A and B are shown apart, each in its own frame.
Chain A
Amino acid sequence: MARQIFEWDYSQYPGATTYPHVFSPIQIGDLVIPNRIKYAATEDNLNTHDGYVTDEDVAYITSRAKGVAGGICTMQGVYMDERRYGQGYVGQAAAWDDKFIPGLKRLADAIHGERAVANYQLMHCGRVGGVETPVCEGPSYLPQRLRLFKPVHEMSHEEVELSIQQHIDAARRGIEAGFDMMEISGIVGYLISNFLSSYTNRRSDEYGGDIHARCKFMTDIIKGVRKEIGPDIPLIIRICAWEQLDDVGGNTQEESMIVYQEAEKAGVDSISVTVGWQESIVPVISRDIDFGSWLYQAERAKQHITIPVSMAYRLFHADMADQAIADGKIDYWENCRPQIADPLMPLKHLEGREEDIRWCVACNVCLARLFRDAPMTCYINPLCAHEHDPEYYPQPAKTKKTVFVAGGGPAGLECAWVAADRGHEVHVYERRDKLGGTIIDAGKAPYNDDELYHIIEFHKAQCDKRGVEFHLGEEVTAELLEEELPDTLVVAAGSTVRTPTFFGGDRDNVITLHDALYETKPVGDHVVVWGNRKPAIGTALALAKRGKKVTLVGKDRTVGKDINPSFRWRYNIFLRQNGVVSYNDCDIEQVLDGQAILVTYDGHRVPVKCDTVVLGERDPNPTLKAAAQDNSIELYVIGDAVVPRGLSGAVHDGYKTGLRI
């Protein structure tokens, strides 16, 4: 008999009409979910090192539960072994003992407090676990491909059976904590996926062999958990439809579908379709992957099983999800990073407030942080992982001020809307006739970098709603300050292109990255780009796409030092694929006719063919500081105007400054 935990009536909301499929109910097992939205489990590294749930994690999950508007909210996966081999993240929650139940209950209660369906996840990290132990564990010993991960301890038969029981015991604790649904994670290199894969499972006992035998560990867990939690609790499993491990002998895509069928037979009520392992050499979720690229895998899964199917990867917008549901490719919509960037993203879709959504830019800084034992953070959401901290929320200003913001880029706009939200009168001056600052230029780079501009659209909408006045095509000048005498000046004027320090830097063929990107000056066939950080890389790639032969020259020891490691590897590949040669730890010494002489950090000189030099190094724009000080105007300098950095530095600076004015 189907049951529903919370009643939701969406008929009064515009989203119910715009996204009729997303906001229609779905039955998973015996449970009816009011809509087809699921927040997918996400580690946040906010819990204690020994696995106890913290206030920070409860606040984090509460905001995501509110966002799903009555849908499913999944807590982060718990590890279930006291030895902690299953722990893949320093702040991962644990469930290896009943003592963890009260903390887990806080999460379930928090989700229920937002009238959402509480989903509990079991996640033994297997080959990528053991984050604080000398080894991790897996079905077979084989060396790690990535040095980051621990040596693998091959599990004995007894240890395999113990692990199955630990999954079952941990499942019971979840139900006792009050969760409504149960999910098992078997993705990206975690323990269940290790048993499933021909790459990592070479056992000769009953848990190894052909694909059916390799499924036994998974199906034993499913059957055991099902027996423990009873028939009424919906049970989901997350498994790869394609491991992307063909280069090391992983499962074929056909074998993956056999896994799906075995999981269904064993008793799961739904499957979440994923793609790729952490060890895969193929990108899956970075920004360069087009939206909806993996839907064909979900569609393929639906052809092999009869239970509902969901998918998360690069499916950010409700209209995409709605269409995918309408087309029968998925049954419900999962999302993870979009709700890290904006916890209320689905709710805003429901309320017809799409313009208020802070869109995820798929930069993967969240993952980069987790893999380096740091608490979750988000590139474009400063509040992420600070939901528990009242000081991170805008409070009405004690004194209303007139605030001039010099610069309509991401730092200035973020500051502007937050300051206006607190009651200040805010004026944004932007010398260009369009808002966006450096992001307009950054969007000229290939590989979907135009997605970055969504943050500006978000900013503009927030500013408009709060009465921020824009002065486009106008600059803040010393005279203006003297005349208007605002209470506060926020200098968010970004950066300037660094004046060349090399010989021949005054030649006509030495141009700025703006000249190159906007094609306002001619660019020859052989181009040397000065700089090896993101703006220079983006420019180099844009030029390479135009057929230029590009050489990057920068003083940093590695290319893209300002890009987080979980995305930097993509840029390295883009550069290689586009034939861009990088000279790191180098500088330009001189520009001659048809060539540039580069100099290494230790004085060696290298000639490269060069028709044009593009200046891609930046300095902070120091404008207006003196004028503000001369007029006793409260002064803040933010974003690239302090130190040229990425979008994240700008947004975080802007938000925090907006709170302080």
Chain B
Amino acid sequence: MAQVQDKAVEGVKQPKPFDAEMEIAKLWAKCQAAQDEIRRAFYCSREAGIQRAGDDADPTAIALKAWEVRGKDAAKTFFPRINLAKGNLVEEIGKLYVNAWRNQGAVVKLKKSENPDEVFIVWERCPWPTAAKNYGAPMAEDVAGCDLMLQTTIADVALFINRRLKIETLKAIPRGEGTCVRRLWLEH
């Protein structure tokens, strides 16, 4: 590590020696805290919606509506990144999903298929079922919510670019299947 040798500008304290490991550890902790905050905010808003709707309302219906709204907004973040003139469309859309979930703390990968119009998105780890458990939401809601979000996003993306894109859930962690696997494909 380089040594501090310079004199300070007047009024500026000499900084502590730089410790890369400590800085990375602090940043990583903050990143994870920010990811947790996404889920905390979602489930608090879900709870607010359920309480506001009253006893007669169906909590799952409210939660699913929230997932649908998230799906629509996710589509809006996809639009500026879509380029039909570049690359394989299905792969490019698949990468957008992958990046969106990685930002939330999931371990997720894109798996190519022999069919160029088909890819598989594999979640090896996802923090959302844990959050659902922590906030008392049923696992069935988590699967349905996530699925609805993906479906809503792909519907808007398909509408935007006028292509018949589809997504389906093949496996889901909250169902005890170990990984989440989604098939994304282009229909002709």
Number of interface residues of A (CB under 8 A): 36
- CB pair A502 B12 closer than 8 Å: yes
Least distance between B90 CB and chain A CB atoms (Å): 15
- In the complex where A249-B162, A604-B27 touch, is A593 in contact with B2 (Cβ < 8 A)? yes
A246, B9: Cα distance in complex, Å:
54
Establish whether residues A499 and B160, one from each chain, have CB atoms under 8 Å apart when the complex forms.
no
Is A507 in contact with B15, judged by CB distance below 8 angstroms? no
Supposing A143-B160, A247-B84, A597-B15 touch, asked if A592 and B76 sit within 8 A by C-beta, the answer is no
Q: Which residues of A121-155 have CB atoms within 8 Å of chain B's CB atoms?
A: 141-147
Let me know if A590 is at the binding interface, CB within 8 A: yes
Contact residues, A30-71 vs B (CB, 8 A): none
- B residues 104-124 near A (Cβ < 8 Å) are none
Q: B84 → chain A, closest Cβ, in Å?
A: 5
User: Is B156's beta carbon under 8 Å from chain A?
Assistant: yes
Q: Tell me which of B15, B30, B162 contacts A589 (CB under 8 A).
A: B15
Assembly CA distance A109 to B2 (angstroms): 75
Least Cβ–Cβ distance between A583 and chain B, in angstroms: 13
Contacts of A607 in B (CB 8 A): 18, 20
Whether A503 lies near B12 (C-beta < 8 A) is yes
Q: Once the chains are docked, how many angstroms separate the CA of A504 from the CA of B9? A: 8
What chain A residues lie within 8 Å of B18 (beta carbons)?
A: 592, 597, 605, 607
Given contacts A246-B84, A607-B18, whether A590 and B79 have CB atoms under 8 Å apart is no
The answer for the CA separation of A607 and B80 in the assembled complex, in Å, is 32
**Contact residues in B for A597 (Cβ distance below 8 Å):** 15, 18
A594 at the interface (CB under 8 A from B): yes
Asked if B187 lies at the interface with its beta carbon under 8 angstroms from chain A, I say no
Chain B nearest CB from A551 CB (Å) reads: 16
CB-contacts of A3-54 with B (<8 A): none
Give the docked Cα–Cα distance between A605 and B82 (Å).
34
Report the Cα distance A144→B18, complex, angstroms.
Answer: 46
Asked if B8 lies at the interface with its beta carbon under 8 angstroms from chain A, I say yes
- Chain B residues within 8 Å of A248, by CB: 82, 84, 160-161
**Which residues of the partner chain A approach B83 to less than 8 Å between Cβ atoms?**
247, 281
Q: Mark B142-160, 1 if CB is under 8 A from A, else 0.
A: 0000000000000010011
A234-275: CB near B (< 8 Å → 1, else 0) gives: 000000000000111100000000000000000000000000
In the assembled complex, A579 has its CB within 8 A of some CB on chain B = no
CB of A202 closer than 8 Å to a CB of B = yes
Is B188 among interface residues, defined by CB-CB distance under 8 A? no
Q: Is the CB of A247 within 8 A of B6?
A: no
Q: How far is the CA of A246 from the CA of B84 in the complex (A)?
A: 7
- Is A566 interfacial (CB-CB < 8 Å)? no
Decide if A247 touches B85 in the complex (CB within 8 Å).
Answer: yes
B52 at the interface (CB under 8 A from A): no
User: Could you tell me the distance between the alpha carbons of A281 and B83 in the complex, rounded to whole angstroms?
Assistant: 10
Number of A-B contacts (CB under 8 A): 80
- A591 and B6 in contact, given A247-B83, A604-B27 (Cβ under 8 angstroms): yes
Determine if A443 is an interface residue (Cβ-Cβ < 8 Å): no
Contact across chains for B6 and A246 when beta carbons are under 8 A apart: no
Cβ-defined contact, A249 with B9, below 8 A: no
B15 touches A503 (CB 8 A): yes
Which of B2, B8, B156 sits near A595, CB closer than 8 Å?
Answer: B2
Given contacts A248-B161, A501-B12, whether A145 and B6 have CB atoms under 8 Å apart is no
Q: How far is the CA of A281 from the CA of B80 in the complex (A)?
A: 8
The reply to whether B9 and A590 form a contact with Cβ atoms under 8 Å apart is no
Given A503-B8, A503-B9, A503-B12, decide whether A145 and B160 contact each other with a Cβ distance below 8 A: yes
A589 contacts across to B, CB distance below 8 A: 15
Chain A positions 554-608 with a Cβ under 8 Å from a chain B Cβ: 589-595, 597, 604-607
Complexed CA–CA distance, A142 and B27 (Å): 40
Give, as a whole number of angstroms, the nearest-CB distance from A1 to chain B. 49
Q: Contact between B4 and A503 (Cβ–Cβ < 8 Å)? A: yes
Instruction: State whether the Cβ of A474 lies closer than 8 Å to any Cβ in chain B.
Output: no
Whether B9 and A500, one on each chain, are in contact in the complex, defined by CB atoms closer than 8 angstroms, is: yes
A605, B79: Cβ atoms closer than 8 Å: no
Instruction: Point out the residues of chain B lying under 8 angstroms from A500, CB to CB.
Output: 9
The reply to whether A507 and B160 form a contact with Cβ atoms under 8 Å apart is no
Q: Tell me whether B156 and A143 are in contact (CB under 8 A).
A: yes
Question: Which A residues are CB-close (under 8 A) to B26?
Answer: 604
Chain B hits for A352, CB < 8 A: none
Bound together, the chains give a CA A595 to CA B6 distance in angstroms of 13
Query: Which residue of B4, B5, B80, B160 contacts A142 across the interface (Cβ within 8 Å)?
Result: B160
B9–A499 CB distance below 8 A: yes
Closest to B16 in A: A605
Known pairs A590-B6, A595-B2; list 7 more (Cβ under 8 Å): A142-B162, A143-B76, A144-B79, A145-B79, A248-B161, A503-B12, A593-B2
9 residue pairs from A and B, CB less than 8 Å apart? A143-B156, A247-B84, A281-B80, A501-B9, A501-B12, A503-B4, A590-B15, A595-B2, A604-B23
Interface residues of B (CB under 8 A from A): 2-9, 11-12, 14-15, 18, 20, 23, 26-27, 30, 75-76, 79-80, 82-86, 156, 159-162
